[in-house]
Amino acid sequence: MAVVVGATGNLGQAVVSVLENAGYSIDPTWNSEDRPNATKAESYAKLPDTIDLLVYLPGLNVVKASAELSEEEWDDVMNVNLKGAFLASKAAFPALKKSGQATIVVISSIMTTHPYPKRLAYTSSKAALEGFTRALAVEWGKYGISSHCIRLGHLSGLMKSTPANPDLLKAVKQRTPSGHLVEAREVADYILWLAEGGSKAMNGTVVDFDPAYTLNRWPLDTDV
């Protein structure tokens, strides 16, 4: 049994598809158009009795100069990216513990180590998620619950909440050694691998899911 919060986005749809093909039952609550608000505690009141995999995917970004960022915008980003993950995990804890070998996956961002300008709230919230993952690993590992964070690079499509810049992904692709942007299906396959046993020898991990874009610091156009 899997609970995929944020199942209707591009990444969420890929995760659901991969899990269903592998035989997982998916909590339908988060697949519907009238899905509840992920930032409200009451939205998690009717979770399945046993949960083998909890995936928290919702993400919100506000692109604005830090000095102009409003308190409300800061709170909105923190609520979606961080508070929702806390509420989902807390509510799911009894069902995760009942599984005996459960996995939690949340999504961070390469912005935590290589921040772009005008993304203060987003970067801060994702960095907090990495600490959140490690803290849960230490506390909940004794219940057979492993917690994982994917530090995600650029997907082949921009987030809905980020204004599209036609030059951004083109520039990222040029700076990526393989010229390959991350596909949602690739992330989904990794999540399945974790849930299917890969997480047994790992807990509290933060994995760079980025084909060396952030590592490629060579400043010249040639390699010599």
156: left (phi over 0), alpha (psi -120 to 50) or beta: alpha
Q: Would you say domain 2-209 falls under CATH 3.40.50.720?
A: yes
Q: Parse the chain into domains and list their residue ranges.
A: 2-209
* The pLDDT value given to residue 220: 78
Residue pair 212/177 in contact (Cβ under 8 Å)? The answer is yes
- pLDDT category, 218, cuts 50, 70, 90? confident
Task: State the average pLDDT over residues 116-135.
Answer: 97
Task: State the average pLDDT over residues 49-65.
Answer: 96
Which helix (H) or strand (E) covers residue 127, if one does? helix 120-140
Task: State the average pLDDT over residues 51-65.
Answer: 96
CA 107/CA 207 separation, integer angstroms:
10
DSSP per position, 30-77: GGSTTPPPTTSGGGGTT--S--SEEEE---------GGG--HHHHHHH
Choosing from 44, 56, 122, 190, the catalytic residue is: 122
Respond yes or no: is residue 122 known to be catalytic. Answer: yes
What's the gap between Cα 145 and its chain centre? 17
Record the pTM.
0.94
Task: State the average pLDDT over residues 92-109.
Answer: 97
Residue pair 81/125 in contact (Cβ under 8 Å)? The answer is yes
- pLDDT category, 217, cuts 50, 70, 90? confident
* The pLDDT value given to residue 224: 62
206: helix, strand or coil: strand
Cβ neighbours around 2 below 10 Å, total:
24
* pLDDT above 70: residue 28: yes
